[in-house]
Every structure is written in structure tokens, then in C-alpha cells.
Amino acid sequence: MAIHKPRASERDPWRVLLVLLIPAVCTAMASAAVVEHTFYVGGMGISQLCMNSVVYTANQQLPGPTVEVSEGDTLVVHVVNGSPYPISLHWHGIFQLQSGWADGANMITQCPIQPSARFTYVFKVTGQEGTLWWHAHASMLRATIYGALIIKPRSGGYPFPPPHAEIPILLGEWWNRNVDDVEKDGLLTGLGPAKSDAFTINGSPGDQAPCGGAGMFQVEVESGRTYLLRIINAAVNAELFFRVAGHAFTVVAADASYTDPHPTDVIVVAPGQTVDALMAAAAAPGRYYMAARAFESATASTPPPFDTTSATAVLRYKGVPDYAPAAMPALPPYADVVTAARFYWSLTGLVRPGDPVVPKTVDHSLVVAFGLEQASCAPDQTRCQRFSVLASMNRRSFQFPEKVSLLEALFRGVPNVYSEDFPGWPAPAATRKATSVRKVNYNDVVEVVLQNEGYSRALGTANHPIHLHGFNFFVLAQGLGRFDPRMRSTYNLVNPQVRNTVAVPAGGWAVIRFTANNPGMWFMHCHLDSHLPLGLAMVFEVLNGPAPNLLPPPPADYPKCH
């Protein structure tokens, strides 16, 4: 049994309790380990883009601590909230099999951890390996509260040649203003948050941004070696292009699911998604920029309604001095839908013996249409002029419950918190605000045609990366325009890519299929944070199966609702 060695800064008052607990857990799990962290969420001074500001981070790190486990391990994260904001932490892409209470979706699976309160997330990481991440799931705080969550294979190694080293690349998004204020302003105007001031690579905008150079990420490579880049799009509101000057990649995984090797020199990654790519250090020894900037199909208006800056970092060959000039990669134009689609659509899943296969019969076949629309100003939108923006799925604009989380309401049978009437079809009707969920039985197979309705110059961003909590799904087909049922004959049922987040382009569609093998309340939403408070979300309610496939009772320290 191995235990992750807590850092000195991770002093933990409950260590005693854990020491008592661990032996019991370990006998049940043979060689699996318990990996334990403590995250102190609090203010951190930082100087970025010629400004000194205070942001909220975990353990005074931006990005936050990397969590590394092996498949089969149990992860224990004590979260101490030293910030003035109620928070929750989500383990993005983790199945949370029978541990839905630890999913961290604010008001969906828990009430938030109040300022000066604490909560311990405990869950087992089973049946998945690769690159995932964790992030705050309340307000826009995930702009600075996020980190990598890396799951190593328990045995047998990777299904590709072992890399010399692994390099996590966390792409982020930066605002000079306090992000909670940015979000509140967006709610008052009814138009969503103002655009960001920079993108970041491993926390820094890089030296192409004004005063951005100080903390620029720089990594040394050796000629002839191969590196595994674990690329995570932790940006709040933007899909991103990513390139490294003079270097090409072989994609080997996405969203912690292996893919067939896919050669490319540009990577496209939507918020919530991850891409694992092998990169050979095969260029002439030198310094090379890696760079990221927005992929945004709605670029018609002037000035563009999105952040047009590029984040940079540097790859330096061993022996090359720090001051050597670096080559900059040519990034695709912002609106390069063709490059994005070619990347997103050409990945296929690596099929290995024992992996889940595409279920052939479907119990629930849904069409979910989503987008943004203009709405009248609400009374509480005190800075709203003329109109506000409303988002919806099948004409239901998702409302978060206020008194109790959906999961607790399900477990305790609390009435009048949600309705089980989420429509399976975008029936023509006026959009209304509702907390409506779609109920499915344990182990039902659910297929969803995700139809992005909108291309709206007036309303800005129209790409929608749709993320499903609690499950991976197979992406059976993707396209532009309106989904045509005749496309069913083109579904890839053999080796589709497996993901937890699919980027559905402006006016495009994707078909996903998953088995609802996990009882609980599972959020499905647009992973652009600006669209979440506008209502671009719904929830799958998955009922208990035959024992032991049950949702257990909540943990003893489950946060109280206020």
C-alpha cells in the first residue's frame, strides 16, 4: 500500500481519523492506494499583465496542485474554504460510481462549502485512466481554482511507446478584475460576463503579453526524445487552438480515453476537454514557442466579442541558452471551422479487449436542441438595457435549486425541488425557466442528438462544448447544419471516440450514447461558464438499480444548505 505523501503545507487535523480508516479500506482493495490531499482555498497575491491582484486558488498555486493517482486508487481531498465565496470542487470526468455525493456540482450534487467551512471529497477512481482535471464548480471561480487530475494505468503501461517524460499543459483564462464581480456584472446586464484579458499556459500569459513574461512556462527537452503532453482546456469561455512551432503531434487520448494514433500539427480543445499528444523533440536544437488562442466561429462583429490574445510558453532544447530567439507557430484564424472540425471529427477510439463497447439497443432516444436567445430584462437585472440573453435546452432554461441540492432532494424525497418533465424533443413552445430533469432507469441506454441551434451575431459565442457528469459517452456522429435522421446509417458503432465533453459547433450537431450505470443526479451543460447561469443545462436522474447498484447515503460532513 502506498500513500501519497502530503506536503508540509498540507497539514491535516483529521490525519488521526484517516490512519484508522485506511487499513480497513486497503484490505478490501488489495494493492490500491489511498491518495490524500488537502486543498486550502484562499486569496493569493499575483502580479499579472502589469497589475497586482488577489485571486483565489488552492494552496497558493496557479494552476492548483496536480493530483496523480493510479486506476483503482481512492482519492481523499480535504477542502478548507478560506475564501469569502461558497465553493464546491468538481472532479471533471470522474465516473463517481456510487459516490455521486462527491461530484462537486454546486446545487446539483451538493450545497456549496461555505466560507470557513470544510468538506472531504472521497471517491474511488475506477475503470478510467488518462488526463482529467478538477475545478471549482461555483460562480466563475474556476478561472483560478483548477488543476490536473492524472490517472496512471494500474498495470500494463500505456498502449503507445512510453514517453521520456510527461508535460502537463493547462490552458487557462485570465481576467484583471475579480471574476466573481465579472460574473455578477454579467448577470446584472443580462449579457453575461465581459471578455477576458488573456489566456494562460500553466498560469502565465507568456512573454508576448504586456508584462506577462515573468512567470512564463518554459520546459527543457532533449533532442531525439519523445514527450507526452497532457493538454487540458481549463479556459472559462473559449475553445482553443494549440500549436508548437516546428513540432508535430500524435494524439493518443482525449478526455482520458485512448484514441487511435492521430497525427496532426494543430490541436483543438474545448473547455472541459483534454488531449494527450506525443511530441518528438525532432527539430533543430533551439527555442520554440508553444501558443494557444481562441477558436471562435462567430467573429463577424467588430471589435470581436471575444479575447483575441495568444498565450505563449517555451520549449527549450537542452544546452540552448535562455536568451536564444524563439520561433512562433502560425495559429489558425479564429474562425477556422474547417481545421477545428477536421480535428474534432477525425478522432476514433482505440478498441482494446475488455473495453466497453457501443450498446446496440437504445432505451431513450432524445433530441436536445440548445442555444441562446434574446429575452426581456428581468427586474433584478438592474443594468440591463433593451434585452438580456437567455440560454436553454429544449426550451427549458435551467434554474438551479436554491434550498437543497437535487441529489439530496432525490435521496430524501424532498418534494417541489425539481420536475421530471424534461422533454425528449424540442417541442415548439416559448422558453421557460425550470428545474426539469430527465428520469431514466439504472442501466438504460440513452442516446442524445445534441443540436446547436444558434448562430447569433448579436449574442456572441455560439459554439457549445456540452459536458456530461458521471459518464463517458460514445460520439457516434457529428456534423454541421441540422441533424437529419438519415444520418443514423453513418453512425460509427465500431470505434467511436469516447469523451465526457463534445464540442458542438455553431449550427452543428453531435450524437452521443451512454449507459446510465450510475444512480444519481448528473448534470449535462455547456462548459462555457458564461452560458451556465443563463440556463444552458439539464440533468439526468438515474434511479437505483438492483442492490448493490445503489446510491449510498451522503457522507457525514456533507455541506449543510443555507
Binding stretches for ligand C2O (CB under 6 A): 90, 92, 105, 135, 137, 272, 467, 469, 523, 525, 527
Give the burial class of 302: count Cβ atoms within 10 A of its Cβ; 0-12 exposed, 13-18 middle, 19 or more buried: exposed
Grid cell in block for residue 327? 520561433
- We find the least distance from the C-beta atom of residue 94 to ligand C2O, in angstroms, to be 10
Of residues 92 and 118, the one with the C-beta less far from ligand C2O = 92
Nearest approach in angstroms of CB 163 to ligand C2O is 26
Judged on CB neighbours under 10 Å (0-12, 13-18, 19+), 416 is exposed
**Closer CB to ligand C2O, residue 147 or residue 163?**
147
Nearer to ligand C2O, 192 or 305 (CB): 192
Measured from the CB of residue 105, what is the shortest distance to ligand C2O in angstroms?
5
Which residue's CB is nearer to ligand C2O, number 193 or number 272?
Answer: 272
Closer residue to ligand C2O (CB): 195 or 525? 525
**Residue whose CB is less far from ligand C2O, 142 or 243:** 142
Is the link from the previous residue into 552 a cis peptide, with omega within 30 of 0? no
The string of DSSP codes covering 86-99 is: -B-EEEET---TT-
Task: Please choose, from the candidates 198, 209, 188, 187, the residue with its C-alpha nearest in 3D space to the C-alpha of residue 240.
Answer: 198
Closest distance to ligand C2O from the beta carbon of 527 (Å): 6
Peptide bond into 63 cis (omega under 30): yes
How far apart CA 222 and CA 554 sit, in angstroms, is 49
> In sequence order, what DSSP letters do the residues of 369-407 get, joined into one string?
EEEEEEEPPPTT-TT--S-EEEEEETTEEE---SSS-HH
CB nearer to ligand C2O: pick between 440 and 466: 466
Least separation in angstroms between CB 430 and ligand C2O: 27
Min dist CB 466 to ligand C2O, Å, is 10
Cα angle for residues 425, 370, 509 (degrees, 5° grid): 85
- Of the two residues 108 and 244, which places its CB atom closer to ligand C2O in the complex? 108
For residue 386, the minimal CB distance to ligand C2O (Å) is 31
Q: Which long-range contacts (CB under 8 A, 24 or more apart) does 439-442 make?
A: 439/541, 439/543, 440/363, 440/364, 440/516, 440/540, 440/541, 440/542, 440/543, 441/363, 441/516, 441/542, 441/543, 441/545, 442/516, 442/517, 442/519, 442/542, 442/543, 442/544, 442/545, 442/546, 442/549
* The C-alpha cell that represents 128 in the structure block: 478510467
Distance CA(143)–CA(322), nearest Å, equals 30
| Closest among 47, 61, 44 to 7, alpha carbons compared | 61
In the complex, least distance from residue 475 CB atom to ligand C2O, rounded to whole angstroms: 17
The DSSP 8-state label assigned to residue 436 in this structure reads B
C-alpha of 178 from chain center: 21
> Which lies closer to ligand C2O via its Cβ, residue 298 or residue 536?
536
Residue nearest to ligand C2O (CB): 92
CB of 135 to ligand C2O, least distance (A): 6
For residue 264, give the C-alpha cell.
496532426
Q: How far is the CB of 104 from ligand C2O (least distance, A)?
A: 8
